[in-house]
């Protein structure tokens, strides 16, 4: 079976003084989260689409889904205290409610990347059916500088540098196996789900993203997103 998991657990601390997590802020005429979910319900191959959010926001999220999304595949699920725990809470929900088969895959996506396209979702599904882990990337345009304590340590060759986006997609059993190999410290600090599989020695297939598939993190990002919506209209 093929699942989508939209990670809506962010707190939005870089968005400034706002009353709610950034995924619930308005983009044009509706919440950012809803723009994202709408893209996923267009893909008929998904058997279920999970929206995983903090326990304090489950009721609010369900109200939004009921208001804007008429698709019984969409389920609101309680997440964890950090990204990877939230990811695994979604996997637990799948296991408890649908069972797991060896070839089941999950396409995971940030709730605050509302400009994802049908092509990116489709490419992730196709790649995840053939590979155990998939990451969406775009080539790095600027030179990447690695540093610490205000000193440059390395400047990697730009042609081999990419910027990571989401979706990140996985064979579910392979992801669970890789996650269970992590130490508790690694589980607490890993901010990228594809790295879970890399650390376990799995190859991660790259899928082409788009520059406009950006993450709305700051007030500037939200202004850019509103401008893009206006151009699209």
- In CATH terms, the superfamily for domain 2-135+163-231 is Spore Coat Polysaccharide Biosynthesis Protein SpsA; Chain A (3.90.550.10)
pLDDT classification of 183: cutoffs 50, 70, 90: confident
pLDDT classification of 192: cutoffs 50, 70, 90: confident
Dihedral sign for Cα 210, 211, 216, 222, please. Answer: negative
Q: Is 85 annotated as a binding residue?
A: yes
Q: Is 90 annotated as a binding residue?
A: no
Stretch 177-200: mean pLDDT: 87
pTM above 0.85, yes or no: yes
pLDDT tens digit string along 196-214?
999 889 999 999 999 999 9
Q: What residue segments make up the domains of the chain, in order of their start?
A: 2-135+163-231
Do 206 and 139 contact (CB within 8 A), yes or no? no
Q: Is 8 annotated as a binding residue?
A: yes
Whole-angstrom distance, CA of residue 9 vs CA of residue 200: 25
Q: Is 184 annotated as a binding residue?
A: no
pLDDT tens digit string along 107-159?
999 999 999 999 999 999 999 999 999 999 999 999 999 999 999 999 999 99
Average pLDDT of the chain, as a whole number: 93
Q: Is 17 annotated as a binding residue?
A: no
Q: Is 12 annotated as a binding residue?
A: no
- Is residue 172 within a helix (H) or strand (E), and if so which, with residue range? helix 172-180
Residue 142 Rama label (left phi>0; alpha psi -120 to 50; beta): beta
Q: Is 82 annotated as a binding residue?
A: yes
pLDDT of residue 62: 97
Q: Is 9 annotated as a binding residue?
A: yes
Q: Is 7 annotated as a binding residue?
A: yes
Q: Is 164 annotated as a binding residue?
A: no
pLDDT of residue 233: 61
Do 111 and 60 contact (CB within 8 A), yes or no? no
Assess whether pLDDT exceeds 70 at residue 13: no
Q: Is 126 annotated as a binding residue?
A: no
């Amino acid at each position: 079976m093929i699942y989508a998991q939209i990670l809506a657990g962010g707190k939005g601390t870089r968005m400034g003084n706002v009353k709610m997590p950034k995924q619930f802020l308005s983009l044009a005429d509706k919440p950012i989260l809803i723009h994202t979910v709408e893209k996923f319900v267009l893909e008929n191959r998904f058997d279920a689409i999970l929206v995983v959010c903090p326990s304090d926001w489950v009721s609010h999220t369900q109200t939004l889904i009921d208001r804007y999304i008429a698709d019984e595949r969409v389920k609101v699920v309680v997440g964890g205290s950090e990204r990877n725990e939230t990811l695994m809470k979604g996997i637990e929900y799948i296991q408890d409610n649908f069972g797991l088969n060896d070839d089941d895959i999950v396409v995971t996506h940030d709730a605050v990347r509302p400009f994802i396209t049908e092509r990116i979702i489709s490419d992730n599904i196709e790649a995840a059916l053939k590979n155990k882990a998939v990451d969406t990337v775009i080539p790095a345009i600027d030179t990447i500088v690695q540093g610490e304590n205000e000193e440059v340590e390395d400047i990697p060759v730009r042609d081999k540098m990419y910027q990571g986006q989401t979706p990140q997609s996985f064979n579910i059993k392979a992801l669970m196996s890789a996650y269970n190999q992590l130490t508790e410290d690694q589980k607490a600090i890993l901010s990228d789900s594809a790295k879970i599989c890399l650390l376990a020695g799995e190859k991660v297939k790259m899928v082409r993203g788009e520059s406009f598939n950006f993450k709305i993190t700051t007030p500037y990002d939200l202004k850019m997103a509103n401008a893009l919506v206006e151009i699209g209209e």
